[in-house]
Amino acid sequence: MSVIQRHNIKLAGIGPATMVFAHGFGCDQNMWRFVAPAFEGGYRTVLFDHVGAGGSDLSAYDPQKYASLDGYADDVVELCRALDVRGGVFVGHSVSTMIGVLASKKAPELFDALVMVCPSPRYIDDADYEGGFSEAQVHELLDFLDSNHMGWSHAMAPVIMGNPDHPELGEELTNSFCRTDPEIAKSFARTTFLSDNRADLAGVTARCLVIQCSEDVIAPRSVGVYVHSNLRNSELVLIDATGHCPNLSAPEATIAAMKAFL
């Protein structure tokens, strides 16, 4: 299966440069539905699903490869090369901001600019670093996932990928914008919330935009400030929005910040 199919890649827009949108933990490329169209006029836009999410090829999921963010970054490099991306813009949300950092370090020629929406290089507090979660809280999350609760399965896998065991789960339960395989989501959560990419920030050469929400339980302000101050060439924009998804809750502000940066 080609990398295009593997990642359910959707291309749109016309422009000299390519803008690649990468979704974070929890959803798929739909996350960008209010933002990406705004750039189709000036860019070739690329939307894709990480392996294990949305319309990606689930059979390509390799627990070992995706146990670290490097595996996801390798995918980004691979798909960008397949699409002949050079000097483009990488727009990442949440954990994908760090995937973009890793990808741009692996292949600096791909991106001239990185847009980081609600980034976090480490979720767990560490000495002076305030990641937003105590180690106990992250383990509570992982334990909860490991309990493999049915309710979570229902919630996580609204379409359950055509799960034959649950044909009764009809459209009324279809949380169809956020398709994810519950087992893969568990692994992705583990990879995400145990990651620590603080040291990777230093080597980034591309220009960076850090978009930080004013009230975000997952990536608190202090984290945005940390990221910004550890990137050589970055700007920090604070959007007055609640939650972790300004691309959904405040798409206009997000688009404006991006356009201003670009």
Partner 1 sequence: MSGPQEADDLEDLFENAPCGYISALANGRISKANRTFSTWTGYGSEQLVGRRFLDLLNIAGKIYYETHFAPLLRMQGFFNEVALDLVCADGTTLPVLVNAVVRRDDTGGVRFIRVTVFNASDRRRYERELLEARRTAEQASIALQDLNATLEARVAERARALDRAWRLSRDLLVIARADGVLTQVNAAWTEQLGWQASDLVGQSFVAFTHPEDLAATQAAFAGIFEAPLTKPYEYRLRHADGSYRWFAWTGAFEEGEVYATGRQTTAEHEQAALLAEAEDALRQSQKMEAVGQLTGGLAHDFNNLLAAISGSLELMQTRLSQGRLNDLDRYMHAAQGASKRAAALTHRLLAFSRRQTLDPKPTDVNRLVAGMEELIRRTVGPSVHVETVGASGLWPALIDPPQLENALLNLCINARDAMPDGGRITIETANKWLDERTARERDLPPGQYLSLCVTDTGTGMPPDVISRVFDPFFTTKPAGQGTGLGLSMIYGFARQSGGQVRIYSEVGQGTTMCLYLPRHYGAVDAEEAPYALSTAPRTEQDGTVLIVDDEPTMRMLVTEVLEELGYTAIEAADSAAGLKVLQSNVPIDLLVTDVGLPGGMNGRQMADAARVTRPDLKVLFITGYAENAAVGNGLLEPGMHVLTKPFAMEALASRMKSLIKD
CB count, 10 Å around CB of 154? 16
Smallest gap from residue 34 Cβ to partner 1 (A): 8
Tokens of 3: 């990398």
Q: Are 47 and 12 in contact (CB under 8 A)?
A: yes
- Taking CB under 8 A as the criterion, the residue among 92, 133, 191, 254 binding partner 1 is 133
214 lies in the site for partner 1, by CB under 8 A = no
Q: Which residues contact 130 (CB under 8 A, 6 or more apart)?
A: 220, 222, 223, 226
Is 216 a residue of the active site? yes
Residue closer to partner 1 (CB basis): 113 or 248 = 248
Smallest gap from residue 78 Cβ to partner 1 (A): 25
CA triplet 73, 68, 53: central angle to 5 degrees?
70
CA–CA separation, 262 and 258 (whole Å): 6
Is 165 a residue of the active site? no
- Taking CB under 8 A as the criterion, the residue among 151, 162, 164, 167 binding partner 1 is 151
Q: Are 111 and 206 in contact (CB under 8 A)?
A: yes
Candidate segments 46-54, 55-63, 144-152, 220-228, binder of partner 1 by CB under 8 A: 144-152
- Options 74, 181, 200, 216, the catalytic residue: 216
Residue closer to partner 1 (CB basis): 18 or 97 = 97
Candidate segments 48-56, 71-79, 84-92, 215-223, binder of partner 1 by CB under 8 A: 215-223
Q: Which of 99, 96, 103 is nearest to 77 (CA)?
A: 103
156 lies in the site for partner 1, by CB under 8 A = yes
Residue closer to partner 1 (CB basis): 48 or 133 = 133
First to last CA, the chain: 34
Residue closer to partner 1 (CB basis): 181 or 216 = 216
Q: Please name the residue that has the structure tokens 């990468």.
A: 22
Using alpha carbons, list the distances in angstroms from residue 117 to 134, 158, 173, 223, 262. Answer: 22, 26, 29, 12, 14
Residue closer to partner 1 (CB basis): 151 or 164 = 151
Q: Which of 111, 110, 129, 108 is nearest to 120 (CA)?
A: 129
Kind plus residue range of the DSSP H or E element containing 116: strand 111-117
160 lies in the site for partner 1, by CB under 8 A = no
Q: Which of residues 2-41 bind partner 1 (CB under 8 A)?
A: 24-27, 30-31, 33
Contact set with partner 1 (CB under 8 A): 24-27, 30-31, 33, 94, 133, 137, 140-141, 144-145, 148-152, 154-156, 172-173, 175-178, 180, 189, 193, 216-218, 242-245, 248-249
Catalytic residues: 94, 216, 244
